[in-house]
Amino acid sequence: MSTTVLAAGDHFVLPRLLTDAVTAAADSPVAVRELQLPWPHTPFGTVAEVTEASGTEDQMIEALRGVQICVTQLAPLTERILANCPDLELFCVSRGGPVNANLDAATQHGVAVCYAPGRNATATAEHTLTLLLAAARGVGDTHAELRRGIWRGDYYDYDSCGIEIEGTPVGLVGYGAIGSRVAKVLAAMGAEVLVHDPYAAPEALAGIAEQVSLDELLVRSRIVSLHARVTEETTGMIGRAQIAAMPRGSVLVNCARGALLDYEAVCDALDSGQLRGAGFDVFPEEPVPAGSRLLTTPGVVLTPHIAGGSQQVAHKAANIVAAEVGRYLRGEPLAHCANPDAFTS
């Protein structure tokens, strides 16, 4: 008897990618149904009690009838869905955290929820480096001016010239899967890499970076890039005082989370020359409001929260959750289960 799997994909992690990955990973027969969810053509949002979800409860209840396993990126898993889908046993979310799943309810219903840590670490690290280099060399403003037919020779003025990476102190706040990748590339480019991360193992930094306090990192670093998770401790961790502590004419980059940073303070620092450039992929409000100073302040390079998006990420995401399906069907322990108590409920 085959296991029925729902591949609830979207326009990024496509249903067919999930289907192909599950079919390849399963050692026993599986029957895969596909569901197309509307993200990103329609923004994700709150569905009942879960966040960052795409689709509706009614849509999922209908699609999950007779389904034992669901693989998805953004489909919601709510108390109501769980109550109406008694056959469901495993729900695999192909993203770094299963925020679109009600873990408590899933545990009570005996449904294991898996996720896909590290799926976009390389993509985000590469995008961070893209913004870092663009902000350090003034690519955003010069590109926009050339598109308007303006050729400015005064960018060769000493005070307008950009910053090289080689020999420059670059501070990374956070040294996880993304920060550590950024550090290795910067070190290879000849940067003096400083790291503030109380959880980083000394051996992981050896030969690559120096562990320092946040205060020391800010004082010494000409370029600072944020890679921390958002917690009560890190929310707003970089504000006016921290930016003022950086060397005048520094660069600040954030591809982590908007809540880490005071963006009004950034705009003021850019206007005053305390910062010479900034690169952002994440914001306190998304989409960025039309009247935001970030859209008009010189020196800022912006992208619309796309750091984690690449074709390779979509394949990695599908393969990570498909591997969990394979483990589950073989009776092996799951590698990335968010609610292991589901098996004892």
Catalytic residue among 33, 65, 240, 257: 257
Determine how many CB atoms are found less than 10 A away from the CB of residue 32. Answer: 21
- The whole-number average pLDDT for the span 77-81 is 98
| The most confident of 26-30, 109-113, 152-156, 197-201, by mean pLDDT | 109-113
User: Is the model's pLDDT at 1 over the cut of 90?
Assistant: no
Question: What is the strand order of the sheet 112-114 is part of?
Answer: 30-36, 3-9, 69-72, 90-93, 112-114
The span from the CA of 114 to the CA of 256, in Å, is: 22
256-307: pLDDT as tens digits: 999 999 999 999 999 999 999 999 999 999 999 999 999 999 999 999 999 9
- Whether 41 is a known active-site residue: answer no
Picking from 160, 262, 279, 171, the residue whose alpha carbon sits closest to that of residue 223 is 171
Asked if the domains at 3-119+310-344 and 121-302 fall in one CATH topology, the answer is yes
CATH topology of domain 121-302: Rossmann fold (3.40.50)
pLDDT in tens, 27-74: 889 999 999 999 999 999 999 999 999 999 999 999 999 999 999 999
Of 86, 91, 94, 117, nearest to 102 by C-alpha is 91
The pLDDT score that the predictor gives to residue 345 is 60
Catalytic residue among 62, 286, 330, 332: 286
Tokens 């000849």 sit on residue: 190
Instruction: Check if the beta carbon of residue 92 is closer than 8 Å to that of residue 325.
Output: yes
305 is known as an active-site residue: yes
Among 124-128, 137-141, 151-155, 224-228, which is the least confidently predicted range?
151-155
Half-sphere exposure of 253 (CA within 13 A, CB side): 31
Q: How confident is the model at residue 344 (pLDDT cuts 50, 70, 90)?
A: confident
Q: Are 157 and 329 in contact (CB under 8 A)?
A: no
Q: Where are the domains of the chain?
A: 3-119+310-344, 121-302
Quote the percentage of the chain above a pLDDT of 90.
Answer: 94
User: What are the pLDDT digits (tens) for 201-213?
Assistant: 999 999 999 999 9
Report the topology of domain 3-119+310-344.
Answer: Rossmann fold (3.40.50)
Q: Given 33, 65, 240, 305, which residue is catalytic?
A: 305
Neighbour-count burial of 184, counting CB atoms closer than 10 A to its CB (0-12 exposed, 13-18 middle, 19+ buried): middle
